[in-house]
Structure 1
Amino acid sequence: MDWDKLRVFHAVAEAGSLTAAGESLHLSQSAVSRQISALEETLQTVLFHRHARGLILTEQGELLHEATDIMWRRLDTAAARIRDSKDEAFGELRVTTTTGFGTLWLVPRLAKLYEQYPSLKIDLILAERVLDLPMREADVAIRMREPSQADLIRKRLNTVKMRLYASPDYIERRSSPENMDDLSQHRLISQAVNAPQVSSGQSLLETLYSAGVTSSLTVNNYYGVLQGVLAGLGIGVLPDYLVVDFPSLVRVLPDVESQQIPVYLAYPEELRHSKRIAAFRDFVLSELSETARLTAAAE
């Protein structure tokens, strides 16, 4: 099949309209339409249903789109490897991690990475779901559990513990609980017990709620939990690394914490020699090491 026609088809399938695809390809709408018609003639099938609100892929179109999507991702990988053959790390790096970790820890530290590599472009994808790295939904991931996908290079970076924290204002107003039974007199702010999370975090929540907590606020990421704590809404279940950037947090029930939660960095095997990946990996390792040192000093 003609590569140009496939390129046009992929753009139309992604955009959902001839006009939008033409703008991205710098082609007229009529030129895009001719390419699609020629491709449909070659394949002897209809690839799109035409509607007033745009174009919808037919079943045959879906099959072709799956193939072109894989092809374009592999081309992106090849282009990245070619760019990384140079001595300097530059270009786009797609990083995925959880909303809480990305917002509260990673973003505030990225200035140091840009200082070292000013030509690097970070596309940060914050999502609770695990993106498919082998299919190049992202280049590198930071996760609080070991990735299970095949064909990935995995590196254990550090460990995190979930602990109880409150704001100084809340402690002044309500006092600090002295034991687990006292939690029933306080509002607990956390992720939901059944929310997707590591087992050690879930176990801690189950233990806390078994103490008879009567009032709670659940948020689907730790950024929201932290905001609730800072607003004085109650006692929050938060990762220990936050005490470095939020030193006003007061630890509650110091003997209560989760088991260690491993932090992993993972990337596709085919990016093993990527200088962008190496630069980002070394940066994260250095910053996590410093965070661990400061967290230990704050205890």
Structure 2
Amino acid sequence: MDWDKLRIFHAVADAGSLTHAGDSLHLSQSAVSRQIRALEDSLKTTLFHRHARGLILTEQGELLFDATSSMVKRIEAATARIHDSEEEVFGELRVTTTHGFGAMWLAPRLAKLYEKYPDLKIDLMLAENVLDLPMREADVAIRMKEPSQADLIRKRLMAIRMRLYASPRYLDKHGVPDSIEDMQHHRLICQNVQSAQVSAGLQLNQQLLSIVKTTLTVNNYFGVLQAVQSDLGIGVLPNYIIDGNPHITRVLPEVESVEVPVFLAYPEELRQSKRVSAFRDFVQEQILEHRRSLRALADEQSS
């Protein structure tokens, strides 16, 4: 089967339009259309339903698109390995992690990575769902649980816990709770129980929601943090967001979730990737630096 025609078919199926596919392939719409018709003739089947709003794959088209998608991912993996044979760290690295960790811990630190490797291109994909690394939906993942797939290299980075925090202004106005039962006199800010979150955080939220009378629930940690900083109540947040923040106070130190492990993982086929190694080492260095800064802060406060 002619790979050129398959490549054009894949672009059309992905774009849902002859025009958009032609733009991405630098071909005219008529040239793309001819190639699709020739492919359909060679397969003796119809691959697309045509209508005014674009193209929709037929059942046979869906089967072929699954095959070409797999082929494209394999080519991308091979291309990545070829590029990784070079000495310099450059090119695209697709990193997936949760919204909270990616936006509030990782992204603010990436400037140091770019300083060291200015030709690196990071595609940061923030999602609560788990992307498939062996299928090359991403190159590297930072996950809040140990990956279950056997063909992944994994590295435990650290552990986090969900804890209770409030602003000093809120506590000055409403008082500091002395026990978990005192939470009934405070507004709880947390992720709603329908939100995607680690099970440890969900369990702590459910325990607290059974006690409090007034709540503000948000579907992400950034919203919880903003509400806490706006003096709206006592929030449930992962400690990696708050550690070292002088403007937020931890309350009820005895109340916290069980430990949540954080893992970095990547496919076995990227073991020799210089981009992956550079990113892995960078994350580990940042974690060590963060721990050192917390120890220095604790020493300063105790002296």
TM-score, reference length from structure 1: 0.96
The equivalent residue for 2:292 is: 293
**Aligned residues between the structures:** 298
Q: Separation in 1 of the partners of 2:113 and 2:273?
A: 16
Cα pair 1:8 1:32 within 8 Å, conserved: yes
1:254 aligned onto 2:256: no
**Deviation (angstroms), 1:288:** 1.3
Amino acid corresponding to residue 285 of structure 1 in structure 2 = Q
**Deviation (angstroms), 1:194:** 4.7
Q: Separation in 1 of the partners of 2:187 and 2:290?
A: 29
**Deviation (angstroms), 1:244:** 4.0
Secondary structure, aligned partner of 1:130: coil
The C-alpha deviation readout for 1:106-145, integer Å capped at 9, x for no partner, is: 1100000001100100000010111111111111000111
Q: Separation in 1 of the partners of 2:295 and 2:51?
A: 61
**Deviation (angstroms), 1:259:** 1.8
Unmatched runs of 5 consecutive residues or more in structure 1: none
The C-alpha deviation readout for 1:124-177, integer Å capped at 9, x for no partner, is: 001011111111111100011111234111110111111110112211221211
Cα pair 1:142 1:265 within 8 Å, conserved: yes
Q: Separation in 1 of the partners of 2:196 and 2:145?
A: 11
Cα pair 1:229 1:235 within 8 Å, conserved: yes
**Deviation (angstroms), 1:245:** 5.8
1:19 aligned onto 2:19: yes
1:112 aligned onto 2:112: yes
The equivalent residue for 1:133 is: 133
Amino acid corresponding to residue 74 of structure 2 in structure 1 = R
Secondary structure, aligned partner of 1:129: coil
The equivalent residue for 2:301 is: none
Secondary structure, aligned partner of 2:165: strand
The equivalent residue for 2:272 is: 273
Unmatched runs of 5 consecutive residues or more in structure 2: 299-303
Secondary structure, aligned partner of 2:251: strand
**Deviation (angstroms), 1:204:** 2.0
The structure 1 segments of at least 4 consecutive aligned residues displaced by more than 4 Å after TM superposition are 296-299
Q: Separation in 2 of the partners of 1:10 and 1:204?
A: 46
The equivalent residue for 2:188 is: 188
Q: Separation in 2 of the partners of 1:277 and 1:199?
A: 29
CA 1:207 to 1:295, structure 2 compared with 1: closer, same or farther past 3 Å?
Answer: farther
Cα pair 2:244 2:294 within 8 Å, conserved: no
Cα pair 2:22 2:28 within 8 Å, conserved: yes
**Deviation (angstroms), 1:297:** 5.2
Aligned sequence identity (%): 66
Which range moves more in the overlay, 27-36 or 130-139? Answer: 130-139
1:93-108 aligned at under 5 Å gives the runs 93-108=93-108
**Deviation (angstroms), 1:298:** 5.1
The equivalent residue for 2:231 is: 232
The C-alpha deviation readout for 1:168-201, integer Å capped at 9, x for no partner, is: 2211221211111110011111122353333322
Cα pair 1:189 1:235 within 8 Å, conserved: yes
Amino acid corresponding to residue 236 of structure 1 in structure 2 = G
Q: Separation in 2 of the partners of 1:42 and 1:26?
A: 24
1:159-198 aligned at under 5 Å gives the runs 159-198=159-198
CA 1:13 to 1:42, structure 2 compared with 1: closer, same or farther past 3 Å?
Answer: same
**Deviation (angstroms), 1:278:** 0.3
Cα pair 1:13 1:65 within 8 Å, conserved: yes
The equivalent residue for 2:50 is: 50
Secondary structure, aligned partner of 1:241: helix
Which range moves more in the overlay, 95-104 or 173-182? Answer: 173-182
Cα pair 2:170 2:232 within 8 Å, conserved: yes
